[in-house]
Amino acid sequence: MSEDDMRHAGTFLTPLVLAPLALLVAGCATQRVAPPPEHAISERALDTSSAAAVDWRQSKPVTAPHAMVVSAQHLATEVGVEILKRGGNAIDAAVAVGYAEAVVHPCCGNIGGGGFMTIHLASGENLFLDFREKAPLKATATIFQDESGNVVKGRSTGTWLGIGTPGTVMGLNEALKRYGTMPLAEVIAPAIELAEKGYVLLPGDVKILDNRTKDFATEPNVAAIFLNDGRPFVAGERLVQRQLGATLRTIAEGGTDAFYRGEPAAAVAAASAAGGGLLTTDDFAKYTVRWDKPVLCDYRGYTVVSAPPSSSGGTTLCEILQTIEGYPLSKWGYASVEGTHHIVEAERRAYADRNTDLGDPAFVRNPVAKLISEEHAEKLRASILPNRATPSSEIKGGVSADEGTNTTHYSVVDKDGNAVAVTYTINYLFGVGKIAGDTGFFLNNEMDDFTSKPGVPNSFGLVQGAANAVAPGKRPLSSMTPTILLKNGKVFMVTGSPGGSTIITTVLQSIINVVDFGMNMQQAVDAPRFHHQWLPDVVMIDPQYLTPEKRAALEAMGHSFRESGPWGADEAILVDPVTGERQGANDRSRPAGLAKGY
**Which residues belong to the active site?**
407
- Helix, strand, or coil here: 375? helix
Largest Cα separation within the chain, whole Å, is 64
The region, left, alpha or beta by phi > 0 then psi within -120 to 50, assigned to residue 305 is beta
The set of residues, in sequence order, having a beta carbon less than 8 Å from that of 93 and lying 6+ positions away, is 69, 79, 80, 81, 83, 84, 412, 414, 420
Cα-to-chain-centroid distance, residue 398: 25
Can you tell me the distance from the alpha carbon of 542 to that of 530, in angstroms, rounded to the nearest whole number?
Answer: 6
User: Alpha helices, DSSP H only, in 275-310?
Assistant: 281-285
Evaluate whether 574 touches 404 at the Cβ level (below 8 Å). Answer: no
- Report whether 211 contacts 329 (CB < 8 A): no
Q: How far apart are CA 74 and CA 591, in angstroms?
A: 9
Going by C-beta distance under 8 Å and a sequence separation of 6 or more, which residues neighbour residue 552? Answer: none
Strand order in the sheet with 62-64: 62-64, 582-585, 572-575, 490-495, 483-487, 302-306, 295-299
At what angle are helices 242-260 and 263-274 packed, to 10 degrees?
Answer: 100
- Residue 195 sits at φ, ψ, to 5 deg, of -70, -45
Judge residue 263's burial from the number of C-beta atoms within 10 Å of its C-beta, 0-12 exposed, 13-18 middle, 19 or more buried: middle
- Please tell me whether residue 227 adopts helix, strand or coil conformation: coil
Nearest Cα to Cα of residue 385 among 372, 398, 394? 394
Which H helix or E strand runs over 252? Answer: helix 242-260
508: CB partners within 8 A, 6+ apart: 317, 320, 321, 343, 347
Cα 285 to Cα 133, 360, 441, 593: the distances in Å are: 13, 20, 19, 35
d(CA 242, CA 225) in angstroms, rounded, equals 9
Using a 10 angstrom Cβ sphere, with 0-12 exposed, 13-18 middle and 19 or more buried, the burial of residue 125 is exposed
